[in-house]
């Protein structure tokens, strides 16, 4: 039976999302870890409110414009960490305005970013909290050693208008041991230098149920856990029943016995592979492989007869939920199995 929704469309099952949020909050509560979810997955003030109501202490955003959209969208969002090096006068001006509205913190992994923040905030009424980003093996941003972390902590502490806020890392999957050793040593050096380390924050959905293995971290920032996706099912940390987000698509062509085309391509599912083969999982059809996407076409192939009819709807669990919510202006909310309403994805496309 087709749903009365024009396709392609992104559906979010609110019952599953609630269950996912509660499950990690319960784990974190048991281990005394504060939860600060990353909103990049949903980009929705409503979902942030659900996370805060369940026990989260605040939210994480990646960009200033994302934080603005979230704070504009909910008066209940009062504590925001932006886990990004922020540069340039336009962004600093926006940051300063945000800092007047909520409890705000940002990160830095180099002196140029700290000096830029300090120059802008030196005359500010309220200091800006800055955490030092540490590289615990993901090899993206972050200082390479605890010594460098301590040097930047000192630089922040001495900068006018800034306050040293602690340590932040985005570790690789299974990186708890490295988080523990790096952050413990950095904290020791910083405390020996006479500074407090108010927060040590780590993140990542795949390893969240091992968060307690790095007890140095006071806070955890999961993102994808609210929706889950094919990449997390492949890692064995979620089942298809835990996937709150699906893409509803319609079969538009069955041009060969083993091939069908759906109306969802890379403009909805995206080309993110996350190490997987294929571009998503068709619910209820383990035998089908989505082997190719163009912008508006998804190609489904099967070994046996594909057994699909033109006009039939399918639900696809995408490889990566976070990037899919960036492709649509609104998502459809499902409750008790029924479409209930549409929510505008207000923080979509906020790359500044």
Out of 47, 245, 327, 334, the only residue in the binding site for its own copies (CB under 8 A) is 327
Say if CB 351 and CB 278 are below 8 A apart. Answer: no
Q: Please identify, among the stretches 86-94, 121-129, 152-160, 224-232, the one whose residues bind its own copies according to the rule CB under 8 A.
A: 86-94
Q: Is 299 in the site for its own copies (CB under 8 A)?
A: yes
With CB under 8 A, what is the number of residues at the site for its own copies? 59
Out of 53, 112, 277, 305, the only residue in the binding site for its own copies (CB under 8 A) is 112
Q: Is 272 in the site for its own copies (CB under 8 A)?
A: yes
E strand or H helix at 251 = strand 245-256
Say if CB 35 and CB 51 are below 8 A apart. Answer: yes
Say if CB 290 and CB 318 are below 8 A apart. Answer: no
Instruction: Compare residues 286 and 295 and give the one whose CB is closer to its own copies.
Output: 295
Out of 8, 73, 166, 203, the only residue in the binding site for its own copies (CB under 8 A) is 8
Instruction: Compare residues 33 and 318 and give the one whose CB is closer to its own copies.
Output: 318
Give residue 237's region: left, alpha or beta (phi > 0; psi -120 to 50).
alpha
Q: Please identify, among the stretches 27-35, 197-205, 271-279, 331-339, the one whose residues bind its own copies according to the rule CB under 8 A.
A: 271-279
Q: Which of residues 116-135 bind its own copies (CB under 8 A)?
A: 116, 135
Q: Is 322 in the site for its own copies (CB under 8 A)?
A: yes
DSSP codes joined into one string, 300-311 = EEESS-----TT
Q: Please identify, among the stretches 157-165, 189-197, 226-234, 254-262, the one whose residues bind its own copies according to the rule CB under 8 A.
A: 254-262
Quote the least distance from Cβ 55 to its own copies, whole Å.
26
Instruction: Compare residues 14 and 264 and give the one whose CB is closer to its own copies.
Output: 264
Q: Is 271 in the site for its own copies (CB under 8 A)?
A: yes
Q: Is 84 in the site for its own copies (CB under 8 A)?
A: yes
Say if CB 33 and CB 211 are below 8 A apart. Answer: yes
Q: Is 75 in the site for its own copies (CB under 8 A)?
A: no
Quote the least distance from Cβ 106 to its own copies, whole Å.
12
Question: Environment class of residue 323 by beta-carbon count within 10 Å: exposed (0-12), middle (13-18) or buried (19+)?
Answer: middle
Quote the least distance from Cβ 264 to its own copies, whole Å.
8
Count of residues for the chain?
352
Q: Cβ neighbours of residue 236 under 8 Å, at least 6 residues apart?
A: none
How far does the chain reach from its first CA to its final CA, in angstroms? 42
Q: Is 342 in the site for its own copies (CB under 8 A)?
A: no
Say if CB 130 and CB 156 are below 8 A apart. Answer: yes
Q: Is 250 in the site for its own copies (CB under 8 A)?
A: yes
Q: What stretches of 146-227 show up as alpha helix (H) in DSSP?
A: 146-158, 176-192
Q: Is 303 in the site for its own copies (CB under 8 A)?
A: no
Q: Cβ neighbours of residue 115 under 8 Å, at least 6 residues apart?
A: 159
Out of 57, 323, 339, 342, the only residue in the binding site for its own copies (CB under 8 A) is 323
Quote the least distance from Cβ 190 to its own copies, whole Å.
19
Out of 97, 126, 140, 340, the only residue in the binding site for its own copies (CB under 8 A) is 140
Give residue 202's region: left, alpha or beta (phi > 0; psi -120 to 50).
beta
Angstrom CA distances, 277 to 84, 250, 272, stand at 31, 22, 10
Give residue 279's region: left, alpha or beta (phi > 0; psi -120 to 50).
alpha
CA 219 – CA 257 distance, rounded (Å): 52
Query: By the criterion CB under 8 A, which residues form the site for its own copies?
Result: 6-8, 40, 62-63, 84-85, 87-88, 90-91, 109-110, 112-113, 116, 135, 139-144, 250, 252-256, 259, 261, 263-264, 266-268, 270-273, 292, 294-297, 299, 309-311, 322-323, 326-329, 349, 351-352
């Amino acid at each position: 039976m087709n749903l009365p929704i024009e396709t392609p469309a992104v559906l979010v099952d609110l019952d599953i999302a609630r269950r996912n949020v509660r499950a990690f909050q319960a784990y974190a509560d048991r281990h005394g870890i504060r939860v600060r979810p990353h909103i990049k997955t949903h980009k929705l003030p409503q979902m942030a409110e659900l996370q805060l109501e369940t026990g989260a202490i605040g939210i994480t955003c990646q960009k200033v414009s994302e934080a603005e959209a979230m704070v504009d969208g909910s008066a209940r969002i009062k504590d925001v960490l932006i886990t990004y090096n922020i540069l340039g006068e336009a962004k600093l001006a926006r940051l300063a305005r945000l800092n007047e509205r909520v409890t705000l913190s940002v990160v830095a992994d180099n002196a140029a970013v700290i000096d830029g923040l300090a120059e802008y905030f030196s005359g500010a009424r309220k200091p800006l909290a800055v955490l030092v980003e540490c590289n615990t093996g993901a090899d993206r941003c972050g200082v390479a050693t605890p010594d460098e972390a301590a040097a930047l902590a000192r630089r922040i502490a001495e900068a006018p208008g800034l306050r040293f806020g602690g340590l932040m890392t985005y570790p690789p999957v299974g990186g708890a041991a490295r988080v523990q050793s790096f952050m413990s040593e950095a904290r020791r050096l910083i405390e020996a230098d006479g500074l407090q380390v108010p927060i040590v924050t780590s993140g990542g959905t795949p390893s969240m149920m091992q968060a307690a293995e790095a007890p140095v971290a006071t806070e955890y920032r999961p993102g994808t856990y609210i929706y889950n996706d094919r990449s997390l099912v492949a890692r064995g940390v979620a089942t298809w029943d835990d996937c709150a987000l699906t893409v509803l698509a319609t079969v538009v062509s069955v041009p060969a016995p083993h091939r069908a085309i759906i109306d969802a391509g890379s403009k909805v599912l995206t080309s993110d592979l996350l190490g997987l083969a294929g571009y998503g999982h068709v619910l209820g059809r383990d035998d089908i492989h989505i082997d190719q996407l163009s912008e508006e076409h998804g190609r489904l192939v099967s070994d046996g007869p594909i057994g699909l009819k033109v006009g039939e709807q399918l639900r696809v669990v995408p490889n990566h939920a976070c990037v899919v919510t960036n492709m649509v202006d609104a998502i459809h909310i499902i409750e008790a199995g029924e479409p209930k309403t549409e929510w505008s994805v207000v923080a979509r496309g906020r790359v500044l």
